[in-house]
Chain A
Amino acid sequence: MTGAHPIGLTIRSGSKIYPGTQALKNVDFDLRMGAVNVLVGENGAGKSTLMKVIAGVERLNAGTITLDGKPVVFADRTEAARHGVGIVFQELNLFPNLTVAENIFVGHEKTVGGVHIDRSAQRAVAAALMKRLEQDIDPDMPLGNLRIGQQQIVEIAKALAEDARILILDEPTSALSAAEVEVLFRVIGDLKRQGVGIVYISHRLEELIRIGDYITVLRDGVITGARSMEGVDVPWIVANMIGSASKEFPKTEHHALGDEIFRVEDVSLPSPAGGYVVDHMSLSVRSGEIVGLYGLMGAGRSELLECIMAQHPASTGRLFIAGKRVTEGSVSGRIRRGLALIPEDRKRDGLVQIMSIRENLTLSSLGDFTRIFHLSLKAEAAKAAEFVKRMAIKIASLEHPVSSLSGGNQQKVVIGKALMTRPRILLMDEPSRGIDIGAKAEIFRTMRKLAADGLGILFVTSDLEEVLALSDRILVMANGRLTGDFPAGAAAAEVISAATPNLNKVKSS
């Protein structure tokens, strides 16, 4: 097997450190040519970081990369591309205002004499690529007019146009239909035969098992398993992804659950492409209960929380807090009723980066320090200091900009801000994303403590281990619908299969 698939690129003792967190720890990775190298791990395990290193987007802090036996250092994306490394990013990197052909050639336009763009040549190549991908997409169509799935196809075509020898696909199928996935797999088969080394990242285990030749499992920046795909099954992958019983989760303190504090009835959010992003969801949370909402990317979990927090005027449905209907349509109204949201994207939604730690902590509860219209800075600072102590946020001064903190401490500021509004229900969207293990453990302990104090917590996560260890009850969402409801201590395999109801479809087709 090794003979058939020569090693094209290797990483030895690769480490990558971000402020506040180590994304890769002494990673050894071999990329085999003419084969599909699948990479699997939970969110934040370091998969995307590893691929960004190979594609030249990020640089290792320590360790070496060897390509065809020669050590290389990719200074940037362009240099990696010159060495034949192509990548399809998880987030679409496309321009909705440009046409399909222009998108495919952006950055390496086909030109006459270096100035004049050869439109017809670009169009011809783009059309050929679309044919190869079995898509009926006009190269002159503005990209913004395409469905998300088609846009992802264009993103893949863009990588193919570079004639890459190494092609990295980071979650390429997250927005594709089953038929489009089949096409992609056929193209991958072609590329394999041409000797292209493919790295394939996905959360969909059934896909990995189907098309992978070699598998590498990452957990918390460490490689926990690497072997050829023969004999690999779902339990093996899950065991390596999750590892043995983890110490970072606090033991469930058994306390009596209270009455139902929060109920969601029939919440729907229509999708612009037709159908529903959130499809008539109903659920309830009891006081003192931690409910974990698990699902794959795009299952509609974050959107559900956003609907609850009045972010989608088009959404429908009913909310009840302690049995009373929530009629407030504004965020501040819902905060007053006792709802609080910890958003998924701290930087974009959670914090005002240029404001100080104090100002961020108190932003939602300024009314508490205000008499008529006068804001008492003294009362505000005292309250902020109290929460810094309570949340154990590590800071040098309350007046430093919040952007100077590490990810974990920033997250504590976001949680502190939410708690300052004295919520009865805490909605947490991926509360542990992008923070290191120590801070994670602290945040989990805080969640436990809050639940013991009688708060109802509904948290969204893509981390299987997290949902299994933390939840008093596990709900699973897929395609906007509730597909599973498990008590604490449910089996990982059952939860995964509830999250991937399309599994059978892919297999049978």
Chain B
Amino acid sequence: MSSPVIAQAGKVADPSSQTSLLLLLLKMRTFVALILVFAFFAVAAPNFLTGANMLIISKHVALNALLAIGMTFVIVSGGIDLSVGSIVGLCAMVAGWLVLYGIDLQIGWSLQLNTLEICLIVAVVGILIGLINGLLITKLNVAPFIATLGTLYVARGAALLFSDGRTFPNLAGNPEYGSDTFKLIGSGTLLGFPLSVWIMVVVAITAAYLATRTPLGRHIYAVGGNERGAALSGVNVDRIKIFVYMFSGFCAALVGLIISSQLQASHPATGETFELNAIAAAVLGGTSMSGGRGRIGGTIVGAFVIGILADGLIMMGVSSFWQTVIKGLVIIAAVVVDQVQQKLQARVVLQSQA
């Protein structure tokens, strides 16, 4: 979408070729940041470049990236979803309950489920909470920040109620019911990579396709760019908004499944503050908080920058307090650079038209 702009500017005027090079660097800034962070830790942190470490980092990143993909759609549509961390927690508890107890039919019998059925039910739970978010925002006109703040509390409370605040331990499953494969979601590998990373890759590719090559994706950008204009162009704004929250809920449900499977236990506090990391990854990847702008690829790179930064600093023995400070500074720097790029880009486009 942006490369013709640069080519144009370069052709039109020589003095601006410097500008366009700068612009290119700015556009790729998250990627540049990723390379810099990676190179820094490769030198500074021992064992950083080992295969085992790479796998650990990619497993960490996959979780945040999944949430950030859902978050990107929400933010692009002009909203925000604060409830994803709580949905992760609730979905983890639902998964744990289903593995341990199945569904109690209240007649002395219980319905035991296999892994696929458990995954489907958990996904439906996540999607339903997303649907509630969407309905609150579109039909009842609640501001997205408030609506999802509300579901943040409700879902977290529900997660605690599930177990009275206790942890569901030993989610090993039962081969008789076909749920012993549950632990594979978190621990299984395919071609040497963890399953969770594959899930992230599949979701990312699907989301990127959705964003760029379907009318649905285009409509999400249009709603975020100008809601009234989109509505008058025949876009069903409410349906688009409900979809993005449902998709975000689905992504959160996947994360809940992966975490409870990885730990083989469900803790009701799972996923606390995950929503903030997801927002950070999206913003770092160039998603505009005012809507209409953002790309899945950028978000993935943003999630990797945050993940590598966190794990690299731990390996270097930097205190977690400093880690938090550094993460904050990186996010602020990302947004400042974004502003500079926007200004420069507008200038280049005007120049190429003159």
Answer whether A and B are interacting partners. Answer: yes
Please give the residue numbers on chain A whose beta carbons come within 8 Å of chain B beta carbons, in ascending order: 309, 311, 330-332, 335, 341, 343, 348-356, 359, 363-364, 366-367, 370, 373-375, 377, 396-397, 399-401, 404, 417, 421
* Chain A residues with CB under 8 A of B353: 396, 400, 404
What is the CB-to-nearest-CB distance from A471 to chain B, in angstroms, rounded to a whole number?
Answer: 24
Q: List 28 A-B contacts (CB under 8 A).
A: A311-B232, A330-B234, A331-B231, A331-B234, A331-B235, A332-B234, A341-B232, A351-B226, A351-B229, A352-B225, A352-B230, A354-B293, A359-B218, A363-B218, A363-B230, A363-B233, A370-B214, A373-B216, A374-B214, A375-B213, A375-B217, A396-B352, A396-B353, A397-B352, A399-B4, A400-B349, A404-B346, A404-B349
Query: Do A349 and B232 touch across chains, with their CB atoms under 8 A apart?
Result: yes
Query: Do B233 and A399 touch across chains, with their CB atoms under 8 A apart?
Result: no
* Size bin of chain B's contact surface: 20 to 34
* Chain B residues with CB under 8 A of A354: 225, 292-293
* Chain B residues with CB under 8 A of A404: 346, 349-350, 353
Which one, B212, B222, B234, contacts A352 given CB within 8 A? Answer: B222
Assuming the contacts A355-B222, A363-B222, A364-B234, asked whether A375 and B5 have C-beta atoms less than 8 A apart, the reply is no
Closest to A365 in B: B234
Within 8 A of A (CB), among B113-157: none
Query: Do B218 and A375 touch across chains, with their CB atoms under 8 A apart?
Result: yes
A366 to B226, CA, bound (A): 17
A238 to B235, CA, bound (A): 43
Assuming the contacts A363-B222, A375-B214, A375-B218, asked whether A350 and B232 have C-beta atoms less than 8 A apart, the reply is yes
A331 to B232, CA, bound (A): 6
What is the CB-to-nearest-CB distance from A212 to chain B, in angstroms, rounded to a whole number?
Answer: 38
B221 within 8 A of A: yes
* Chain A residues with CB under 8 A of B222: 352, 355, 359, 363
A309 to B234, CA, bound (A): 10
B191 within 8 A of A: no
What is the CB-to-nearest-CB distance from B216 to chain A, in angstroms, rounded to a whole number?
Answer: 7
What is the CB-to-nearest-CB distance from A244 to chain B, in angstroms, rounded to a whole number?
Answer: 36
B1 within 8 A of A: yes
Query: Do B233 and A364 touch across chains, with their CB atoms under 8 A apart?
Result: yes
B236 within 8 A of A: yes
* Chain B residues with CB under 8 A of A352: 221-222, 225-226, 229-230, 292
Closest to A403 in B: B346
What is the CB-to-nearest-CB distance from B30 to chain A, in angstroms, rounded to a whole number?
Answer: 19
Closest to A406 in B: B353
A64 to B5, CA, bound (A): 40
Please give the residue numbers on chain B whose beta carbons come within 8 Å of chain A beta carbons, in ascending order: 1-2, 4-5, 8, 212-219, 221-222, 225-226, 228-236, 292-293, 346, 349-350, 352-353
What is the CB-to-nearest-CB distance from B139 to chain A, in angstroms, rounded to a whole number?
Answer: 13
Query: Do A348 and B228 touch across chains, with their CB atoms under 8 A apart?
Result: yes
Which one, B2, B232, B292, contacts A343 given CB within 8 A? Answer: B232
* Chain B residues with CB under 8 A of A400: 5, 349, 352-353
Query: Do A353 and B226 touch across chains, with their CB atoms under 8 A apart?
Result: yes
Assuming the contacts A355-B225, A363-B218, asked whether A396 and B230 have C-beta atoms less than 8 A apart, the reply is no
What is the CB-to-nearest-CB distance from B9 to chain A, in angstroms, rounded to a whole number?
Answer: 10
A364 to B229, CA, bound (A): 10
What is the CB-to-nearest-CB distance from A33 to chain B, in angstroms, rounded to a whole number?
Answer: 43
* Chain A residues with CB under 8 A of B1: 356, 399
Closest to B228 in A: A349
Which one, B5, B8, B236, B292, contacts A332 given CB within 8 A? Answer: B236
Query: Do A330 and B233 touch across chains, with their CB atoms under 8 A apart?
Result: no
Closest to A331 in B: B234
What is the CB-to-nearest-CB distance from B313 to chain A, in angstroms, rounded to a whole number?
Answer: 35
A165 to B343, CA, bound (A): 41
A370 to B214, CA, bound (A): 7
* Chain B residues with CB under 8 A of A417: 233
